[in-house]
Amino acid sequence: MSMKILAVDDSKTIRLIVAKALKPFDCTVIEAENGVTGLAMAGREKPDLILLDYTRPVMDGLEVLTRLRSEPDLKTTPVIMLTAEAGRDAVTKIARLGVRDYLIKPFKSELLVERVCRVLDLKAKSGAPETNKRIDDPISILVVDDKPAIAAQIRDGLADTPWKVAAAEHPGEAFDCCMSGGVDLVLASLLLPDDGAYMLFENLRGCSHTASIPVLGMCIRTTVAEQARAHQTGFAGIITKPINPDELKSKVCRTLKLETSYKYFHQLDGVLVVSLPKKHNPEIEAMLTSRLKNELTALVDAGGSKLIVDLSAVEEPTHQVIKVVVAIIQTARELSLNHAAVGSEQTCAKCRIYEESHDWKFAATIEQAVALLK
């Protein structure tokens, strides 16, 4: 079972450092920004270790530690104290509190991991690759906005996907939805009353059941300061209003790391077909480039020896598109693969203009290209 580590610190930066340092390990980091919240989370979550800031607003580290030691379920929970006071007297005082260890701020991630490993037997996460959902899998998106029309717009904009869009008008209602399970992503308006989006974000991060749910903030394009605040808080990104459905889909895919490569790569009787999309997109280009070698290696390993680049859907074979295809074909040549391209007469004529592509073998269909490569 994954271990739980509670980080109690009023500094968002420190909490982010802790979360990042421990990300490679099989543990869940939950967060609290003050001692009162930290005590409540400790009672609810029963963490295996508490990282506790010594000098705190609301309730200082000494008081929090005293309260922890008075609770039967928490009195033996190990505590590592975090402090900005490096003086000998301060360190001696902390050591006498009965904590397991201490760290002086600022500290390096490596030192934090080393100290935590003194207390807990942390295990690295499995090296097995994660199985991400595909873009055509059903995912659940929760829209948190006090204006119902926004949820309706998002629902309409995503109508051509299998994604489910639910709505909540209040942070409390949204938190309950997330706690009930099944929410993959939250879209929260940054203009909710009483800093509702930020309160929701902190509550989600503070609970092990919801800590991993990514949150995208929503606001109008001109609210630059609000966007900066959301980024500093730790939001996964920003969606600007009026909402562009294509931009929203792209950010959802990127945030959830949805698998899209199956749309562009498929094998056909020992032939790898790479299909370029209708319009050039830098994100798709990056994905094609990063996945290509693995796909070609798998092809060769399975006994395949041919590559077809399908340009039939491309609206305009721009120089940038040609550069992408040149990179694909160059990789194929390095592996001694025979190759051809598929496209319309207009696409073929446009490709002949460029020096890099004037000698490509072209066919009108994939079937004709396969025959051409035999």
Q: Does 240 share its domain with 316?
A: no
pLDDT at 128: 45
Q: Are 327 and 289 in contact (CB under 8 A)?
A: yes
Contacts of 112 (CB under 8 A, 6+ apart): 17, 18, 21, 22, 103
Answer whether residue 283 is part of any domain. Answer: yes
In this structure, are 266 and 306 located in the same domain? yes
- What are 13-63's pLDDT values in tens digits? 888 889 888 988 889 999 998 888 999 999 999 999 999 988 766 677 778
CA–CA separation, 190 vs 230, rounded Å? 8
Q: Give dist(CA 317, CA 307) in Å, integer.
A: 19
In this structure, the answer to whether residues 250 and 298 fall within a common structural domain is no
| Span 217-242, pLDDT tens digits | 999 999 999 999 998 888 999 999 99
Of how many residues is the chain composed?
374
Structural domain of 94: 3-119
Per-residue pLDDT at 126: 66
Q: Which of 256, 277, 296 is the last residue of a domain?
A: 256
Residue 152 counted as domain residue = yes
Whether 124 contacts 2, CB under 8 Å: no
| Average per-residue pLDDT for the chain | 87
Specify if 126 maps to a domain: no
Long-range contacts of 114-121 (CB under 8 A, 24+ apart): 115/80, 116/5, 116/22, 116/49, 116/51, 116/80, 119/49, 119/78, 119/80, 120/3, 120/5, 120/27, 120/48, 120/49, 120/78
- As beta bridge partners, residue 30 has 6
Q: What is the pLDDT of residue 92?
A: 64
pLDDT of residue 130: 52
The last residue of one of the domains, among 196, 223, 256, is 256
Residue 43 belongs to domain with CATH number: 3.40.50.2300
Same domain, 247 and 266: no
Q: Is the pLDDT of residue 91 over 70?
A: no
Q: What pLDDT is recorded for position 352?
A: 84
In a domain, 135, yes or no: no
Percent of the chain with pLDDT over 90: 40
Rounded distance between C-alpha atoms, residue 234 and residue 263, angstroms = 31
218 and 203 in a common domain: yes
Q: What is the pTM of this model?
A: 0.63
DSSP 273: E
Three-class DSSP category at 258: coil
Tally of structural domains, the chain: 3
